Structure 1
Amino acid sequence: MKREAAIYLVDDDTDFREATTEFLESEGFATRAFENGARMLERLDPEWDGLILCDVRMQGMDGFAVLKAVRAAAAKVPFIMMTGHGDIRMAITAIRGGAYDFLEKPVQPDMLLGLVRRTLNARKMVIENMRLRRRVARYGDLRGRLIGTSAAIRECRRQLLEIAPLPITILLHGEAGTGKEVTARAIHDFSEVAGEFHPINCANLDDATLRAELRAIPDQDTVHFRALHRLGATGQSIVAEYLRQPRRARVLVSVTGDPAKCHASGQITDELYYLVAVAPIRLPPLREREKDVFTLLELFLRDAAGRFGKPLPPVTRETLASFRKYPWPGNLRQLRGVAERMVLGLPLGLDHVPAGDGAPVASYDEAMQSHERAIIERALMEAGGQKGAAADLLQIPRKRLYLRMKATGLLE
């Protein structure tokens, strides 16, 4: 495999170009030679960690024109001038124009090697500092995505920052509503991947559609397989085949629940499980996040008030006390819905715990009433609390909406 060039050499003198390239290569510096500056500029990357050696006197685009173009395209890449006709005035002009240093031809081998080593070391430090600053900035931004100060969410953020820049498959898992989609997008945004983010919902996805979607995703993008355990055996085989390709998009996977249990129960095949379980990250449920509930509640209340054009509702001590005791089986998704109902003045719906958490199974009539109530609540939220607009969304008369709101306990 060919090494990435550490030096770009630009010189229209073929003999000098070939001899200098051979010498630098023999000293361990991967070098790419160009006969003119335009060719070199086509390949120049602003974040490249190498340096440019460029002659001053060349036909067409001379060294000073190349220097000016490099400073515009990649201001931090070190640029070293070379000339057989140099003098102090030309050296000063080059330095003022942004050159890192200046060499006279014939170039002394020891001087060239010393300058190259110093320049590459300095460039390496600049790149590392840039990456460190980006890491610090990403951490600050990540705290705005995965909000909270609890030990559980801080550990989650730490793991994400360590893994996000790495070109590996990441498996996100946790209970429903813990924020797997938000986290997947954050990983994409804080990674080194420059392409687009493509979520693929694996629930009820047919095999032909899955193949077509994967063929359409460019290699530089990120693909997020949501609810991977919902795919059938053939679909999982298609994903496994995709993961084994040498050139493909960055892959993120999310599973509701414990992925090991999904594997043991046969929801995830052996073939796929060991391909995706490279870097698992568990998103903590809300009940493990201490006082984050109240931080998130304030955020969701302000968001809902802004969207619905409503004032912030009062929050009593009794309400906070009940929130502290509640197990939040729906996690962030449920808390956001509760905040929306508070803003709209609707009942919070926290007077029961779903079956499976110690509560008795609801009767058929109770379940149907709860379902109807949820439909009405959603319509009211989408209508900003306006009952007439909600009735229009539900395609029923306003009077019937009032009657059903009374029947389901949404109106006294």
Structure 2
Amino acid sequence: MRHDTHQIYVVDDDKDFREATCELLQEEGLMPRAFSDGQAMLDLLDPEWGGVVLCDIRMAGLDGFDVLRRVRQAAPDVPVVMITGHGDVRLAIAAIKAGAYDFLEKPVQPDFLISMMKRTLNARKLVIENKRLRRRITRRGGLAGQLVGRSHVMKQCRKSLLDLAPLPITVTLFGETGTGKSLAARMLHEFGEGSGGFHIINCASVRADGIQAELDAIAQDADTLYIRAVHKLDITSQTRLADYLRRRERPRVILSYTGSLIDPTDTNALSDELLYLVNVATLEMPALRDRNKDIFLLLETFLREAAERYGKRLPKITKDMLDPLGKHDWPGNVRELRNVAERMIIGLAVDLKQTKSGESRAQLSYDDAMAQFERSLLEHTLRETAGRKGEAAQLLSIPRKRLYLRMKAVGLLSPGQN
């Protein structure tokens, strides 16, 4: 939802007074919006709006007390200043008791009106800032439950996300594959100030020069646009995205990028034009090998999640099973560790392929490629059946005995396991 940029809603059925008041407020740099009746204002009122309502008491249709009562119900934190005619001080006192912030008496002295509006706006701003601070303190624990980790780099990562979440600026998340960039993007949205939707564009699936259609299809109520794998865009699409980022009326944008955002040797490097636009608030998601303290904490978390998902008991974990995990360099990062936990729950052998960071993978031979494909197919089917090998064999239309043989052949069963 886009919040109204107007600061003061002026509600009065007296056209001359309404227009004169709005003109005075505009001259003082305030941003008023005029309403000839209370219902029109109430239809627009947002409880998170950061402004003030200035409302006359005596009006046709809904009078000021009706408007005040409905504002208190719909947006209880929005201050309402009531305007009374000469001799209506008793009504003004009644309005204060009913929840009005203050009152003004007609004819209104311009200096007094301006002073009161500025004072009330400052009070409203203070309430909003206090609410945001309390919300961020409450959410700090919630973020730790989403982005699990006790390592120093992970604590710093969560702090940076909390600092960036309430700011209406473009954020670029970068790092290796599997480090949790999509989850971090979702957290920036959830812990931000917006109440609208979260729209995703996955650049890996956008056809050549098709980014414009994706941008045009963004929902009107989207508060956050997450552009995933922005490095997958061709130069033409990057140019169109750069044009979009220059717009003033658009959702908040979060981008993710696999690789190093500022490394000139990175083959995924963005065009200079786009880089200048997205290199404002950047955050690198730490690799799992730099979070050594977190590996076993994350493993426990993923094991419990997988056990609940597949309806399985937690397996007995031995030191011999854990030692290789602590020595592994985790090229697939958190995503790879989650897959390891799922294999443990399902009952599949864990075969860690050590790949040092920065080394290129050798081209697979035909036989190795076929074995890798078969292993992936068997793993996927066993996950689908929660490790029930009889059902997996049926899905693959092969005898159960052949399934066991193929699982042993590709290393999914440990010696002696059946």
The corresponding residue for 2:249 is 247
Equivalent residue number for residue 37 of structure 2 = 36
Equivalent runs, 1:194-209 vs 2, <5 Å: 194-203=195-204, 205-207=206-208, 209=210
After TM superposition, the structure 1 stretch with the greater mean CA deviation from structure 2, 249-258 or 86-95, is 86-95
Once the two structures are TM-superposed, the CA of residue 17 in structure 1 deviates from its matched residue by 3.2
2:189 partner amino acid: H
Q: 1:66 to 1:261 in 2, by over 3 A?
A: same
How many angstroms apart in 2 are the aligned matches of 1:102 and 1:271? 53
TM-score, normalised to structure 2, is: 0.87
Aligned-partner SS, 1:291: helix
Structure 1 residues 32-41 or 51-60, which shifts more? 32-41
Name the residue aligned to 2:319.
317
Question: 1:176 is matched with which residue?
Answer: 177
In structure 2, the partner of 1:374 is 376
Structure 1 match to 2:283:
281
* Corresponding residue of 2:61: 60
Counterpart in the other structure of 1:293: 295
Task: State the alpha-carbon separation in 2 of the partners of residues 29 and 245 from structure 1.
Answer: 24
In structure 2, what is the Cα distance between the partners aligned to 1:17 and 1:170?
A: 42
> Residue 405 of structure 1 aligns to a residue in which SS?
helix
Task: Specify the alignment match of 1:105 in structure 2.
Answer: 106
Q: CA deviation at 1:103?
A: 3.6
Stretch of structure 1 that moved more, 43-52 or 100-109: 100-109
Q: Percent identity?
A: 54
- C-alpha separation in 2, matches of 1:261 and 1:359: 17
What is residue 151 of structure 1 aligned with on the other side?
152
Post-superposition offset of 1:305: 0.3
CA distance in 2, matches of 1:47, 1:217: 23
Count of aligned pairs between the two proteins: 409
Separation (CA, whole Å) in 1 of partners of 2:241 and 2:30 = 41
Return the letter of the residue paired with 1:285.
Answer: A
SS of 2:324's equivalent?
Answer: helix
- Which structure 1 residue ranges, 5 or more long, are not aligned? none
Deviation of residue 339 (structure 1)? Answer: 0.6
Structure 1: how far apart are the matches of 2:360 and 2:12?
A: 80
Aligned AA (1:64): F
Q: Does 1:402 align with 2:396?
A: no
Point out where structure 2 has 5 or more consecutive residues left out of the alignment.
none
Taking a change above 3 Å as real, the CA distance of residues 90 and 229 of structure 1, as seen in their structure-2 partners, is: closer
Cα distance, 1:150 vs. partner? 1.0
Moved more, 257-266 or 51-60: 257-266
Q: Deviations over 1:101-149 (max 9, x none)?
A: 2344344556545543443332221111112122223333222221112
Is the Cα contact below 8 Å between 2:331 and 2:356 reproduced in 1?
no
Aligned-residue Cα RMSD (Å) equals 2.9
* Structure-1 separation of matches of 2:187 and 2:119: 37
CA distance in 1, matches of 2:28, 2:171: 40
What displacement does 1:300 show?
A: 0.3
Describe how 1:256-405 pairs up with structure 2 within 5 A.
256-261=258-263, 265=267, 267-350=269-352, 352-354=353-355, 365-405=367-407
| 8 Å Cα contact 1:263-1:269 kept in structure 2 | no
Provide closer, same or farther for how the CA distance between residues 42 and 254 of structure 1 changes in structure 2, counting only shifts above 3 A.
same
Structure 1 Cα separation of the partners of residues 156 and 63 of structure 2: 54
Rounded Cα–Cα distance in structure 1 between residues aligned with 2:250 and 2:20: 39
Structure 2 CA distance for aligned equivalents of residues 170 and 48 of structure 1: 24
